[in-house]
Copies of this chain bind each other. A is one copy, B any other.
C-alpha cells in the first residue's frame, strides 16, 4: 500500500493520526480502520466506521510514522470529475511536475486556506494519495480535489476561456497586474520551473518581486512558498 502501483489498483490510501483520520473520515469512505483500545475509547466514539482493535505493539510495527498516535485508517480514494465549465468560473491551481510529496502536501494545505477547490496535476506530479503527501496535507485533502490529467491538453482547452497565470523571472510585477478570480495559477517543477511546453500556454506572465528589487538574492523561492504568495495576492484582491 505504500507503493503507488498498489494504491492505484486497490483504489485505497492510508492515513495516520487522530486529527487527520477524523478530518478525512468526514469526506472519504473508511475501508478499514485499525486502532488501539485506548484510541477507540477516547477518540473513536464520533466515528461511524467499524474499528478493529489492535495492540499498540502491532500498530507500531505497521505504522509509517515515527510516533504513531494509535490509529491507522485505510480510505477509499475519491473519484473526482473534472468539469471544465466549473473550473472556468473560479480560481484553480495547476502543477507542472511538482515532484516532492512534502511540497505537494503543503500546496494542498495552501489551496485549502485560500479557498481553492481544485488542483490540476500533470501526470508526473507526486501522488496526492501517497503516505507522505497525505500526512503533509494535515487534513486539507478532505476539502481540496486533486486531479491528474494530460496537463498540456487541459491548459490548451481552458486557456481559451480563462487566463493561465505563471511566474517567471521576466514576468510582470504581480502587485501591479490585473488579476482575475477566474483563472488558473500554474506552478512549475522544483528544479526546472515551468516546462517549455506549458510555458507556451501561459497567457499572463507574473513576477513575485524580491526586495530591494534587483539586489542579489536566492535565485528562487521554494515552489510551495511561491504558490502561497501568488494565491494570497489573488485573494487579497478577491
Contacts and interface: CB of A to CB of B under 8 A. Distances in A.
A217 B106 contact: no
Q: How large is the interface on A (under 10, 10 to 19, 20 to 34, 35 or more residues)?
A: 20 to 34
B238 A211 contact: yes
A215 B138 contact: no
Contact of A112 (B115, B138, B139, B218): B218
Contacts of A218: 109, 112-113, 138-140
A217 B112 contact: yes
A175 interface: yes
A236 B175 contact: yes
A146 B57 CA distance: 42
Nearest to A224: B225
A228 interface: yes
Contacts of A232: 208, 229, 232
Nearest to A136: B222
Contacts of A114: 210-211
A30 interface: no
Contact of A222 (B106, B208, B217): B106
Given A109-B221, A229-B232, 5 more contacts: A109-B225, A114-B211, A115-B211, A225-B228, A232-B232
Q: Report the 5 A-B pairs with minimum CB-CB distance, sorted nearest first.
A: A211-B235, A115-B211, A225-B228, A140-B218, A112-B218
